[in-house]
Amino acid sequence: MLYRENGQFKSTYRADQQVLPIRQDRWFMAAVLVFAFAVVPFIGTQYTFQAILIPFLIYSLAAIGVNLLVGYCGQISLGSAAFMAVGAYAAYNFAVRVPQLNFLVILVLAGLAAAAVGILFGTPSLRIKGLYLAVATLAAQFFLDWTFARVKWFSNYSPSGAVSTTPVSMFGFTFETPAEKYLFVLSVVVVMTLVAKNLVRSHVGRAWMAIRDMDVAAKVIGIRPVHAKLTAFAVSSFFLGIAGALWGFVHLGSWEPAAFNLSQSLRLLFMVIIGGMGSILGSFFGAAFIWLTPLFLNQVPAALGVQLSTATISHIELMIFGSLIVFFLIAEPHGLARLWAIGKEKLRLWPFPH
């Protein structure tokens, strides 16, 4: 009754091609953005910013990156965290060696560096597919882990191999309080999401999806697989690189190479699978599910006043979390984004389902 597009007529192609064609969706999105930008900074605590929202937003950005490659272009990658590491270390080196750079410039440069490395490690995808490609990208993970641990230049010859970042500043303004950092990350994520959303609706995204669905057919209709696959790797790594730079500079502040290890890659892949392959919205759902559910489960017993040892809570958390993953994958193999879409369909018919 409330959610129905009756009476919303499109009279131009432009109107028909909007990101959100239904008015209610636009209102909803506007409300979410106003809430995130104008309300959350005033009501959030330090804990919600630093432990929940900032990591969630950065993970969402990274998950979008992985989704572009895995969900839209169908190239399975197990090296996502390595591309984040490239972004983080590139940002670190630019910040240390060219201290006067604006952080926004650093972010873009970090993204470009990651994109270049992504193209390099994406070349095997021209010859190999599926699981074989997954193994090839695993090599990227190991190789880059090794590089950042071994080649001392990347960590500016710090004796322990760990790096420590400079404060995030641009145009003479330094982001210091958690709320400021949150707003900065949020702005970056919103802009990048818009870019991603439009990209997948453009001819580039359509080429990726054609390759994903059937590469031979795509070739026949004139899509260049080399171009499509490598752009997917480049754009995906660009997103991951920026996410990595944010993770290093805004979230951690200083890190060791293990911050971007294989388990981080797997975590990102799970976000995409559970959130929904080939869905930008799904990336946010996946990031929220993987990052927030364990935190929630971990704090439930204390909130209910149940006295349990932290070890027990942690074991229970893992068990419930694991079974939730299985449950969601059985209930909806296409991910949380698909559940959301079904919910919207149901809402259109409500209260008179047929």
Positions in the binding site for another protein (CB under 8 A):
45-47, 50-51, 55, 96, 149, 156, 159-162, 164-167, 176, 251-259, 261, 294-295, 298-299, 309-311, 313-315, 318
DSSP label of 22: S
Q: Which two tokens stand for residue 33?
A: 């953005």
Give the distance from CA 343 to its chain's centroid.
Answer: 23
CA distance 316 to 329: 20
Shortest Cβ distance from residue 252 to another protein (Å)? 5
Shortest Cβ distance from residue 344 to another protein (Å)? 32
Nearer to another protein, 89 or 255 (CB): 255
Shortest Cβ distance from residue 66 to another protein (Å)? 17
Nearer to another protein, 96 or 339 (CB): 96
CA distance 18 to 16: 6
Shortest Cβ distance from residue 148 to another protein (Å)? 11
CA distance 236 to 62: 9
Shortest Cβ distance from residue 46 to another protein (Å)? 7
Give how far Cα 278 sits from Cα of 36, 105, 233, 241, 334, Å.
25, 29, 15, 20, 9
Nearer to another protein, 71 or 79 (CB): 79
| Residue carrying structure tokens 């992504």 | 118
CA distance 236 to 118: 8
Shortest Cβ distance from residue 211 to another protein (Å)? 33
DSSP label of 72: I
Element (H or E) spanning 174, and its range? Answer: strand 173-174
Nearer to another protein, 202 or 299 (CB): 299
Give how far Cα 93 sits from Cα of 164, 165, 302, Å.
11, 9, 43
Nearer to another protein, 56 or 72 (CB): 56
Shortest Cβ distance from residue 44 to another protein (Å)? 12
Half-sphere exposure of 178 (CA within 13 A, CB side): 17
Q: How many CB atoms lie within 10 A of CB 306?
A: 10
Nearer to another protein, 170 or 339 (CB): 170
Nearer to another protein, 187 or 299 (CB): 299
Nearer to another protein, 99 or 353 (CB): 99
Half-sphere exposure of 340 (CA within 13 A, CB side): 15
Nearer to another protein, 55 or 335 (CB): 55
| Residue carrying structure tokens 């419930």 | 320
Shortest Cβ distance from residue 275 to another protein (Å)? 18
Of 60, 107, 144, 52, which is closest to residue 246 (Cα–Cα)?
Answer: 107
What's the 3-state SS for 249-292? Answer: HHHHCEECHHHHCHHHHHHHHHHHHHHCCCCHHHHHHHHHHHHH
Shortest Cβ distance from residue 294 to another protein (Å)? 8
